[in-house]
Structure 1
Amino acid sequence: MSARAWQCQSLLIGYPDAALVERAALLTSAASTLPTPVGGPLLRFLDHLRATPPGRLTADYVATFDHRKRCCLFLTYYGHGDTRRRGMALLELKQQYAAAGLSLTDEELPDHLSVMLEYSAICPAEGAALLTAHRAGLELLRLSLHDAHSPWADVLDSVSATLPPLVGDQRTAVAKLAAQGPPAEKVGLAPFAPLLEGLGR
């Protein structure tokens, strides 16, 4: 179940291009087979996808994810900000994906939520551990999307529903992250620095 859910979520949290719209019927069929807490939010988002003009979808996506730091889809940003530690985390992720046979283009960063979910669909056990390790960032992203009344909040609700409930230290981490934000230090991100600069991170 989780692998199928993560594959659907991976596509739906990606850029809403024409290819995604063409897959809406297939994704609806897949989401309909998932338990209600996981599939229900995806079906709501798919209704929005079909009802919204493509130009509006893409404009909303850019306004949501490119212009709001609390709606950042690059999950290591929440834990490391623009620091040397983030550069190391990106390298480790890329190596982890390569070991599983998942290769990225030069334009893709390995900590993008869509990429993490794709990896999780391929390697469910390792993917669950990876998503859980980034749970504080995921939860802050989910809450921020709800605060912004974004339709993509449904996709994050679905992701959250595939993971264990937040407990103790995880709740504390989310609260701390929400209050303080990620650390800042714009050095030491090679070889990812040029791409990060282009993304405004």
Structure 2
Amino acid sequence: MSTLRTRLRPASGRRARPGPEEPAQRGLLLRLLSLLLQYPDAELADERAALSAAVDALPPSAAAGHLAAFTTWFAAQPAEDLESHYVEVFDLRRKSSLYLTYYLHGDTRRRGMALLALAQTYRAAGWSADNGELPDHLPVVLEFAALAGPRAGEAPLRRHRRGLDLIHHALTDVRSPYADLLAALLSLLPRATDADLEAVAKLAAEGPPAEDVGLDPYSGTGFAPPGTFVPPAPAPPTLMPPVTGPMDSEARR
């Protein structure tokens, strides 16, 4: 994370009308969210003090308050506990996956088209993610939003508002501190409508659209890309060799 200071600079992309925060401030909030929602590897864990300092320097706002609550927890945890918690809540739970098109399209052909359209949106803005993640991975979407500005840059976030709400609810249900990061993000977006709330409740109860019967939820065409952590299959039962006793020896004579 040697480039942390560079990545936290205010984005200089095209801007539309500012939101509740000044444009540079809004871009910084989105960049912090993008970093903090990434897998907490050793490099990110080593920069926790710098991230906490950046959050502490933010002007007061709802988003800044949620970020401060998260970084207080984040800075206090052993690095290995951060990694295991992240895998548990984001890789092993469908309702809190960070791949946004899953919530809108499920495991259907339309999801592939949505991923392609999102990648084309990035290219049209002169930006490409080079970290190997799918274009709908939330940290990637947040980085684009910080660079491209509130109108075009945040359009993918607004489009997937209902999925973001579901992730927030799922993280809240398991009492994960990452719920604060989703709460911070949602505070930057337009308020949910009654139709949004109804759709989120339905999504939580029924799941996203389904098309591919029998699809492995962790295969390359599921909501997580190849290489995502997959629990190992249970080992087959161990067969014990037969016990040889005196009677068996007699029978073989």
Task: Please say whether Structure 1 and Structure 2 have the same fold, judged by a TM-score greater than 0.5.
Answer: yes
Deviations 1:103-147 (A, max 9, x none): 233731000110010000001221222211100000000010000
Q: Are 1:193 and 2:217 an aligned pair?
A: no
Q: Which has the higher helix share?
A: 1
Q: Percent identity?
A: 45
Q: Is the CA contact (8 Å cut-off) linking 2:52 and 2:75 kept in structure 1?
A: no
Does residue 13 (structure 1) correspond to residue 13 (structure 2)? The answer is no
Q: What RMSD over aligned residues (CA atoms) do the two structures have, in Å?
A: 2.0
How far 1:172 moved relative to its partner? 2.0
What secondary structure sits across from 1:114 in the alignment? Answer: helix
**Counterparts in 2 of 1:2 and 1:106: CA distance versus 1, 3 Å:** closer
Contact 1:4 1:30 in 2 (8 A): no
**Is the deviation greater in 117-126 or in 31-40?**
31-40
Give deviations 1:33-79, integer Å, cap 9, x for gaps: 14331011111111111110101100110011111110110000001
CA displacement, residues 73-115 of structure 1 (integer Å, 9 cap, x when unaligned): 0000001011100000000111111222322337310001100
SS of residue matched to 2:130: coil
TM-score relative to the length of structure 2: 0.72
- Measure, in 2, the Cα distance between the counterparts of 1:197 and 1:138: 23
Q: 2:122 aligns with which of 73, 88, 97?
A: 97
In the alignment, does 2:165 pair up with 1:136? no
Is 2:51 aligned against 1:27?
Answer: yes
Residues 9, 114 of structure 1: 8 Å contact kept:
yes
In the TM superposition, 1:118-137 aligns within 5 A as 118-124=143-149, 125-137=151-163
Asked if structure 1 preserves the Cα contact closer than 8 Å seen for 2:107 and 2:210, the reply is yes
Contact conserved, 1:5 with 1:34, CA < 8 A, in 2?
no
Pick from 210, 232, 236: which aligns with 1:184?
210
Give the CA deviation at 1:198: 4.6
Question: Which has the higher mean CA deviation after the structures are superposed, 8-17 or 19-28?
Answer: 19-28
CA distance in 2, matches of 1:18, 1:158: 24
CA contact (8 A) 1:28 1:43 kept: yes
Distance 1:170 1:40 in 2: 25
Aligned equivalents of 2:180, 2:147: Cα separation in 1: 23
Structure with greater contact order relative to length (CA < 8 Å, sep ≥ 6): 1
* 2:76 pairs with one of 51, 61, 71: 51
**Cα distance in structure 1, aligned partners of 2:46 and 2:103:** 32
Measure the CA separation in 1 of the matches of 2:129 and 2:89. Answer: 24
CA deviations over 1:150-195 (Å, ceiling 9, x no partner) = 11111101101111211122122212211211112239xxxx6397
Structure 2 unmatched runs, 5+ = 1-24, 214-219, 231-253
Q: Which amino acid aligns with 1:4?
A: L
